Amino acid sequence: MIITAKTILNKAQKGKYAVGAFNIYNIETLHAAIDAAENLQSPIIIQTSESAIAYAGLEILIDMMRIAARESKVPIAIHVDHGRDMKLIKKAISIGYTSVMIDASHHPFEENIKLTKEIVKAAKKRNITVESELGIIGGKEDDLEGTSWCTDPKQAVKFVRQTGIDSLAVAIGTSHGAYKVKGDRLRLDILKEIRKRVSIPLVLHGASLVPKHALTKARSLGMQVGKAQGIPKSQIKKAINLGICKINVDTDLRLAFSTALREYTQKHPESINPRDALSYAQKATQRSVEEHLRLFGSVGKA
């Protein structure tokens, strides 16, 4: 069933668990996310980045997501991740997304407020949830690249009050992608201060787990994953206990999908049916989604 992200996140905040927000870009990753949610009876958010939209097309993606979510029995929100193109975000609002993220964090503080307010005004007319980011979540993933700086708890109060957003993505030491700075850990002290001052649901980006078993398999298949490392599960659990209600997952799904494709083609060099390889990758991605849902504490919360 299709539902607003605000409804899902408010329930998660009260229940002290987090909802997984999974980036999809084709029919296989979409089915992987929803099949996992149904298998574990968990609410989820399915989301598309601007690069995924450029790859597959906005209207094609929204139609796929709406049909799949409408036919599912678990609560699903449909979200635009890291929206920077104002025209694209407004179009997404008009064609059926139930949630959007306006990411103007790369602008000065006052400009961030101004642009965010513009999207909030457009979204509220259609009862659409708005997420925004304060601080910079660094690293590189898709077209996002930058140096991290943490969210100022005092600024967070002003930002939330003046923009009227429904959820706030905070920068507390995470970075996008799998290739994180050595020793990268969450600034839970900053998160604790933000939670004291801000009452709306908080969002964590750049928190890839990059499981060791996934890296081991990738390396055994000749994939160049270098010194990739993720955030420890213990840190994720502590962040949830301190108020994180939504956690974005992209890199871990890419790793699962790409590794499975490589594994299948190496095991079955005679195969010329792409559906077999894609189905194999879909199942591997579903297992990754399920691993995250269990960690986030949302199992059985549908």
- Residues 17-71: pLDDT tens digits? 999 999 999 999 999 999 999 999 999 999 999 999 999 999 999 999 999 999 9
Output the furthest CA–CA distance in the chain (Å, rounded). 60
Residues with active-site annotation: 81
Question: Going by DSSP bridges, is the β-strand pair 44-49/202-204 parallel, antiparallel, or unpaired?
Answer: unpaired
The pLDDT of residue 282 is 98
301, part of any domain: no
Alpha carbon of 79 to those of 32, 50, 58, 102, 271: distances in Å? 17, 11, 12, 11, 36
Q: Which residues contact 54 (CB under 8 A, 6 or more apart)?
A: none
Return d(Cα 268, Cα 261) in angstroms, integer. 10
The pLDDT of residue 177 is 55
CA 195 to chain centre: 20
Average pLDDT over residues 165-178: 82
The pLDDT of residue 117 is 98
CA neighbor of 68 nearest in space, from 40, 20, 33 = 33
Asked if residue 77 lies in contact with residue 4, where contact means CB atoms within 8 angstroms, the answer is yes
Of the pLDDT bands very low, low, confident and very high (cuts 50, 70, 90), residue 157 is very high
Of the pLDDT bands very low, low, confident and very high (cuts 50, 70, 90), residue 230 is confident
Percentage of the chain beyond pLDDT 70 is: 92
302, part of any domain: no
234, part of any domain: yes
Return d(Cα 13, Cα 190) in angstroms, integer. 18
The chain-wide mean pLDDT, for the chain, equals 92
Whole-model pTM: value is: 0.92
180, part of any domain: yes
- The pLDDT tens digits of the residues spanning 55-69 come to 999 999 999 999 999
**CATH code of 141's domain:** 3.20.20.70
Residue 81's domain spans which residues? Answer: 5-296
Name 131's bridge partners: 101, 167
Average pLDDT over residues 209-237: 87
Return d(Cα 15, Cα 105) in angstroms, integer. 29
- The pLDDT tens digits of the residues spanning 207-216 come to 889 888 888 8
Tokens coding 222 = 């000749």
Tally of domains in the chain: 1
